Amino acid sequence: MKIAQYGTTIVVIHAIANGLHGLAHVEIPVALSVLQSSFVVIVIFLTPIIAAVLLWTQFYRLGSWLLLFSMAGSLLFGIYNHLIVISPDHLSQVSFAGWGLLFQITAILILIVDGLGCWISGWALKTIQQPEEVL
Give the pLDDT of residue 128. Answer: 83
| Residue among 110, 80, 118 at smallest CA distance from 17 | 110
Give the pLDDT confidence of 58-104 residue by residue, as tens digits: 999 999 999 999 999 999 999 999 999 999 999 999 999 999 999 99
Mean pLDDT rounded to a whole number for the chain: 95
Per-residue confidence at 135, pLDDT binned at 50, 70, 90?
low
Number of neighbouring beta carbons within 10 Å of residue 32: 16
